[in-house]
Amino acid sequence: MATANPTEGLHGAGTIIKKASGWFIGMAVVFILLGMMAIIEPGVAGLAVTILVGWLLIFGGVAHLIAAFSGGGAGRVLWQILIGVVYIVGGVYFLMHPLLGLGTLTLFLALIILTEAVFEIIAYFRIRGESGSGWFLVNALITLLLGGLIWFHWPSSSVWAIGILVGVNLLMTGFSRLMFGLAARNLVNRVAA
């Protein structure tokens, strides 16, 4: 039997969406607060990232050691064990010396950002005749400036670079989740009205 009002069947879904949007908004507030804290104290955020990377390396190393015994020949087993040991040693190093690990991560970050800038410049020259291609060049120059700042001020940039970037990322994640949650809530309210 068809209902006269097409939104009648959406009342249950509307309740679910309202609850989910509430969770999204709550999660957004947490991300925004964490992002602001990381920007205010970038050194602490950088150390937290270093410790996280250390643990991830250890877990990755253990996974490689476990995978080594799944067969595949002596060469594969040897490589898996070697990779696992390197991961575990790197993880333990990051946990035992977090400041030095933060410096290492910052240097890798600078290299990655500089490499990205070079690829953006190459992309610009490949599409420079197209509409809007100037934004590729603007992005490349800003990325080059950021990578250069981190690289030329290394190791002192270790104190702020990773923490600030993580903070900005958390802040942007929080704002995007907040906007999504508010949009979902507004949609349910418009449909229910």
Beta strand spans in 28-164 (E): none
Instruction: Render pLDDT for 63-117 as a digit per residue (tens, 0 to 9).
Output: 999 988 887 777 888 888 999 999 999 999 999 999 888 888 888 888 888 888 8
Let me know: does 169 contact 49? Beta carbons within 8 Å. Answer: no
Let me know: does 181 contact 22? Beta carbons within 8 Å. Answer: yes
| pLDDT beyond 70 at 142 | yes
pLDDT score of 13: 63
Those residues whose C-beta lies under 8 Å from the C-beta of residue 29, and which sit 6 or more positions away, are 174, 178
Instruction: Render pLDDT for 45-68 as a digit per residue (tens, 0 to 9).
Output: 889 989 999 999 999 999 999 988
Q: How far apart are CA 132 and CA 144, in angstroms?
A: 19
| pLDDT beyond 60 at 2 | no
Over the Cα atoms of the chain, what is R_g? Answer: 24
Higher pLDDT, 48 or 188: 48
pLDDT score of 91: 94
Q: What is the dihedral of CA 172, 173, 179, 180, to 10 degrees?
A: 150
pLDDT score of 11: 59
Q: What is the dihedral of CA 38, 179, 14, 191, to 10 degrees?
A: 170
| pLDDT beyond 70 at 14 | no
Q: What percent of the chain has pLDDT over 70?
A: 92
